[in-house]
């Protein structure tokens, strides 16, 4: 039996328990849970008796009305900023056309299945610069805060995953969206496709390396992420290839970063 | 629930009531943008952010005392860092996105799993892990800096 954190008891009391937290509730002492929910309800009743909500609700509505008015005035300025961002998205969409020139990639065929299909799977990275999208070459110098948009061309492969490894040894999955996705979620679109969201670089030092793994069969995400985490432990993680199962090919695009660890020491 | 959350994070009852007022004002002001499919999660998250903003304001007004909650986070991160944590906290969060402190509190203070935090803040588990890793690394580097 484990003790439950307050937030979980609150959610249970309101019958709004997140699906992923059900197991924690099941592992708890049911008597403790019942007692704590009863205590919350007593506390609610005491609070409502001591502080009837009417006056507070009136104050809150009045304050919200004032803020909404002020906000609508600010919106005119904000709309201009949104329009600029939207223009950048359009530029990225333009670059995402299948006939756009491919970026030269650092290529590692690994121990693939030996059958070369027409075309090559590849990743292309774009950096948002104002209202433009700049295509990034391998080893392009980037900074913390740069907004990167990735697009892939499956090169005839049916499945794939995209992840990055940075100079701090941190692995981030970009496609599919979650690590616990089933292998079927690694299905790739047959046409050149931009990922649904962009990615802001943080201040990890030295490099950000994007990996595009492709296969003709669904890819085991956990196995591939383990390979990335294993590579992260190596001193040559900026250059070395991943150790992957047969049938999975790998491509990587490395962007250079300043060594911000050194800079941080002088903050 | 909101008042209890604010009390827990801020300590003082009157400050918690003021924060609760701000939470509901935000809910009404931003009603069109908010996803109300899980109201308790939404209120919990807004309440936490409102309280964090108040804690940041306190840090600019030292007479209000230490942000004990953030110290607790630092202590949970690494018990050996306790003595350095208080001085390092401001630097620790200075250049971080606003939701990094939220992520740290949800995981280290509220004992949410990485998956629960990810669901709460609408990020991937990798993204949450990366933020926490970076925060720990930064804390440790601050600890060893002269």
Ordered structural domains, chain B, with CATH:
1-65 (no CATH), 66-146 (1.10.10)
B66 CB within 8 Å of a chain A CB: no
Rounded Cα–Cα distance for residues A146 and A159 (Å): 28
Helical segments of chain A, H only: 6-13, 22-26, 30-50, 53-95, 221-232, 260-264
Q: Are B109 and B55 in contact (CB under 8 A)?
A: no
Distance (Å, whole) CA B116 – CA B112: 6
User: Kind of pairing, strands A132-136 and A159-166?
Assistant: unpaired
DSSP B106: I
Q: Which of A177, A117, A184, A122 is nearest to A151 (CA)?
A: A122
Averaged pLDDT, B53-82: 50
Domain limits at A195?
99-264
Which pLDDT score is estimated for A60? Answer: 83
H or E element in which residue B31 lies:
none
pLDDT confidence tier of residue B79, bands split at 50, 70 and 90: very low
Each of the 267 residues of chain A gets a pLDDT tens digit; together they read 567 899 999 999 888 888 888 888 888 888 989 999 999 999 988 988 888 777 778 788 888 777 766 655 443 333 333 333 333 333 333 333 333 332 333 333 333 332 233 357 889 898 877 767 788 989 999 988 888 888 899 988 999 999 999 888 888 888 998 887 888 889 999 888 888 777 778 888 899 999 999 999 999 998 999 999 999 888 889 989 999 988 899 999 999 988 644 333 332
Pairing verdict, β A199-200 and A159-166: unpaired
Kindly determine whether residue A18 and residue B116, on different chains, have CB atoms separated by under 8 Å: yes
Separation CA B53–CA B48 (nearest Å)? 9
Q: Which two tokens stand for residue A255?
A: 């962007």
| Distance from the A5 Cα atom to the nearest Cα atom in chain B, whole angstroms | 6
Q: Is ipTM strictly over 0.85?
A: no
Phi, psi of A173 (to 5 degrees): -85, 130
Query: Same structural domain for residues A45 and A110?
Result: no
Q: Does B1 touch chain A (CB under 8 A)?
A: yes
Q: Are residues A126 and A255 in the same domain?
A: yes
d(CA A170, CA A163) in angstroms, rounded, equals 10
Indicate if A144 and A38 belong to the same structural domain. Answer: no
pLDDT of residue A71: 55
DSSP annotation of A20 reads G
More confident residue, A168 or B59: A168
Put simply, whether B68 touches A (Cβ < 8 Å) is: no
Q: What is the pLDDT of residue A236?
A: 87
pLDDT computed for residue B3 by the predictor:
92
Based on the domain organization, do A251 and A152 belong to the same domain? Answer: yes
Question: Mean pLDDT across the stretch B119-146?
Answer: 79
pLDDT at B94: 65
- Is A226 part of the contact surface with chain B (CB cutoff 8 Å)? no
Are residue A109 and residue A193 in the same domain, yes or no?
Answer: yes
Instruction: State which of A31, A50, A69 marks the end of a domain.
Output: A50
The lowest-confidence range among A118-127, B101-110, B128-137 is: A118-127
Q: What does the pLDDT read at residue A35?
A: 92
> What pLDDT is recorded for position A218?
93
Q: Which helix (H) or strand (E) holds B119?
A: helix B114-121
Q: For chain A, give me the number of helices (H) and strands (E)?
A: 6, 10
- Long-range contacts at B33-38 (CB < 8 A, ≥ 24 apart): B38/A16, B38/A18
Q: Do A67 and B29 touch (CB under 8 A)?
A: yes
Judged by DSSP in three states, A28 sits in: strand
Which position has the higher pLDDT, B145 or A27? A27
Residues of chain A in contact with residue B25, where contact means CB-CB under 8 angstroms, are: 60, 63-64, 67
**CB–CB contact B126 A63 (8 Å):** no
B32 touching chain A per CB within 8 A? no
Q: Report pLDDT for A208.
A: 92
pTM summary value: 0.48
User: Is residue A175 included in any domain, yes or no?
Assistant: yes
């Amino acid at each position: 039996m484990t003790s439950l954190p307050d937030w979980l008891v609150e959610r249970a009391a309101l019958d709004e328990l997140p699906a992923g937290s059900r197991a924690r509730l099941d592992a708890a002492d049911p008597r403790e849970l019942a007692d704590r929910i009863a205590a919350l309800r007593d506390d609610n009743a005491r609070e409502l008796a001591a502080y009837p909500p009417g006056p507070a609700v009136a104050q809150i509505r009045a304050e919200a009305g004032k803020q909404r008015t002020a906000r609508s005035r600010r919106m005119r300025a904000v709309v201009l900023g949104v329009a600029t961002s939207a223009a950048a998205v359009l530029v990225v969409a333009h670059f995402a056309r299948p006939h756009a020139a491919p970026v030269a990639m650092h290529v590692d065929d690994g121990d693939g299945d030996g059958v070369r299909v027409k075309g090559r799977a590849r990743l292309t990275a774009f950096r948002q610069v104002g209202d433009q999208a700049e295509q990034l070459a391998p080893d392009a110098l980037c900074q913390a805060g740069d907004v990167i948009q990735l697009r892939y061309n499956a090169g005839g492969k049916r499945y794939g995953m995209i992840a990055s490894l940075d100079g701090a040894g941190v692995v981030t999955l970009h496609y599919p969206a979650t690590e616990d996705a089933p292998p079927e979620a690694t299905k790739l679109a047959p046409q050149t496709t931009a990922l649904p969201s962009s990615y802001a670089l943080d201040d990890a030092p030295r490099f950000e390396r994007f990996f595009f793994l492709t296969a003709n069969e669904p890819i085991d995400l956990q196995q591939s992420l383990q390979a990335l985490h294993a590579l992260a432990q190596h001193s040559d993680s900026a250059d070395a290839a991943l150790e992957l199962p047969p049938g999975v090919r790998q491509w990587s695009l490395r962007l250079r970063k300043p060594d911000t660890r050194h800079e941080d020491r002088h903050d | 629930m909101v008042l209890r959350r604010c009390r827990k994070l801020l300590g003082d009852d009157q400050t918690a009531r003021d924060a609760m007022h701000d939470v509901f004002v935000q809910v009404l002001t931003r009603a069109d943008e908010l996803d109300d499919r899980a109201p308790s999660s939404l209120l919990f998250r807004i309440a936490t952010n409102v309280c964090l903003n108040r804690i940041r304001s306190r840090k600019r007004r030292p007479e209000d005392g230490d942000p004990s909650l953030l110290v607790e986070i630092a202590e949970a991160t690494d018990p050996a860092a306790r003595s350095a944590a208080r001085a390092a906290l401001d630097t620790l969060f200075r250049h971080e996105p606003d939701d990094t402190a939220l992520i740290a509190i949800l995981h280290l203070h509220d004992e949410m799993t990485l998956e629960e935090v990810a669901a709460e803040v609408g990020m991937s588990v990798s993204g949450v892990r990366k933020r926490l890793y970076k925060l720990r690394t930064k804390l440790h580097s601050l600890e060893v800096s002269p």
